[in-house]
């Protein structure tokens, strides 16, 4: 087995790394009853028809996360798996509102994640950043209150993102929140064009001023937008296995990644919610190479793009490679 390509992972929801085995262990520890008999029955529920059907399970299962230690254990398990697949740098999303809504303080979440991330360079050889995501199907006021609640922890947070159910919740809904985040010195990304139309990608760029588009898959429907994304070298954090599992595309062989690279788009490949979508980022690299017949040069381009699109500064960028 050749060594996996060194790479950065830029689109990874830490709650989406909750494997069934850890979910049951945490459920037992925290006295939570899951509506599944065992890990096998839980895995049978991983047949999704769209983004919402996945989100329903994703939010249900994270009810097992209670303590600082739970979040540390979750993140440490991800970092170990990612490192084994060649990840040298990870920019990790978390969803504070999914926890505060069920009575877990934001400090518990951030403290727990930070403990794992603080030891990650030494324990796993992985540098890390944290990106706090707002749930777009909640109100802009709730997002603003979340940003306010995060103020004591801003030294731990590199940027903000926007996730959850996309259609009907355009980026412009969060104009003020993103302006406030920018004023606090935070970097900005947003999910756009996963299930939503190409215009959501434009809004994320023009109204929110994001530096990367998470997914961006549906840009391919809009040649003018593609031309702009190429010209401005806007990174897209694609998640091909997620697109198949959430039925955005039928089969991996139909994924437009290869033509997107050919068009000159700054594409990166990521795992999104690896516990749910059938693979971590190394598995995802292998899967797209096989399904799309990408050559060594294209795989190296993907790895190079991942570092170039990251929020590592230039010095660190060179060291991580």
- Write out the DSSP string of 199-230: HHHHHHHHTS--SEEEE-GGGGG-HHHHHHHH
In the bound state with Zn ion, the residue whose beta carbon lies nearer, of 14 and 34, is 14
**Cα 249 from chain centre:** 19
Nearer to Zn ion, 66 or 216 (CB): 216
Distance CA 100, CA 109 (A): 9
Q: Is 99 annotated as a binding residue?
A: no
Give Cβ neighbours of residue 274 (< 8 Å, ≥ 6 apart). Answer: 12, 16, 17, 78, 81, 280, 281, 283
Q: Residue 127 touches which of ligand ES4, Zn ion, none (CB < 5 to 8 A by kind)?
A: none
Q: Are strands 212-215 and 235-238 parallel, antiparallel or unpaired?
A: parallel
User: Is 169 known to sit in a ligand binding site?
Assistant: no
Instruction: Report whether 191 belongs to an annotated binding site.
Output: yes
How far is it, in rounded angstroms, from Cα 212 to Cα 204?
9
Residue linked to tokens 């990304």: 189
* 134 closest CA partner among 195, 66, 208, 205: 208
Judged by CB under 5 A, which stretch of 76-84, 97-105, 114-122, 272-280 contacts Zn ion? Answer: 272-280
Please state the closest distance from residue 246 (CB atom) to ligand ES4, in A: 6
CB of 276 to Zn ion, least distance (A): 11
From the list Zn ion, ligand ES4, none, pick the one residue 88 interacts with, judged by a Cβ distance below 5 to 8 Å according to partner type.
none
| The binder of Zn ion chosen from 272, 277, 288, 302 (CB under 5 A) | 272
89, interface contact from ligand ES4, Zn ion, none, CB < 5-8 Å by kind: none
DSSP H or E run through 226: helix 223-231
Residues catalogued as catalytic: 194
Q: Binding partner of residue 169 among Zn ion, ligand ES4, none, CB under 5 to 8 Å per kind?
A: none
Contact residues toward Zn ion (CB under 5 A) are 272
Q: Which positions make up the binding site?
A: 11, 13, 191, 272-273
């Amino acid at each position: 087995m050749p060594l996996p390509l060194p790479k950065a992972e830029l689109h990874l929801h830490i709650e989406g790394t909750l494997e069934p085995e850890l979910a049951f262990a945490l459920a037992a520890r925290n006295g939570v009853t899951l509506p599944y008999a065992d890990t096998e029955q839980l895995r049978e529920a991983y047949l999704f028809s769209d983004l919402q059907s996945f989100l329903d399970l994703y939010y249900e299962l994270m009810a097992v996360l209670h303590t600082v230690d739970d979040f540390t254990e979750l993140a440490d398990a991800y970092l170990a798996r990612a490192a084994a697949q060649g990840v040298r740098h990870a920019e990790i999303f978390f969803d504070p509102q999914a926890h505060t809504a069920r009575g877990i303080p934001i400090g518990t979440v951030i403290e727990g994640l930070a403990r794992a991330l603080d030891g990650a360079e030494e324990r796993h050889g992985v540098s890390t950043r944290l990106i706090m995501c707002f749930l777009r199907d909640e109100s802009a006021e709730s997002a603003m209150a979340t940003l306010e609640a995060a103020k004591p922890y801003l030294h731990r947070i590199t940027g903000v993102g926007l996730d959850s159910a996309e259609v009907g919740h355009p980026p412009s809904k969060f104009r003020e929140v993103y302006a406030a985040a920018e004023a606090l010195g935070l970097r900005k990304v947003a999910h756009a064009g996963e299930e939503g139309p190409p215009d959501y990608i434009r809004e994320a760029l023009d109204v929110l001023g994001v530096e990367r588009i998470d997914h961006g898959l549906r840009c391919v429907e809009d040649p003018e937008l593609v031309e702009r994304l190429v010209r401005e070298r806007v990174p897209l954090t694609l998640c091909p296995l997620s697109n198949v599992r959430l039925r955005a595309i039928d089969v991996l062989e139909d994924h437009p990644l290869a033509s997107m690279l050919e068009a000159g788009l700054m594409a990166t490949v990521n795992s999104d919610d690896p516990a749910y979508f059938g693979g971590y980022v190394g598995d995802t690299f292998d899967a797209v190479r096989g399904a799309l017949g990408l050559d060594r040069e294209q795989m190296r381009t993907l790895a190079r793009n991942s570092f170039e699109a990251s929020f590592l500064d230039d010095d660190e960028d060179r060291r991580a490679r």
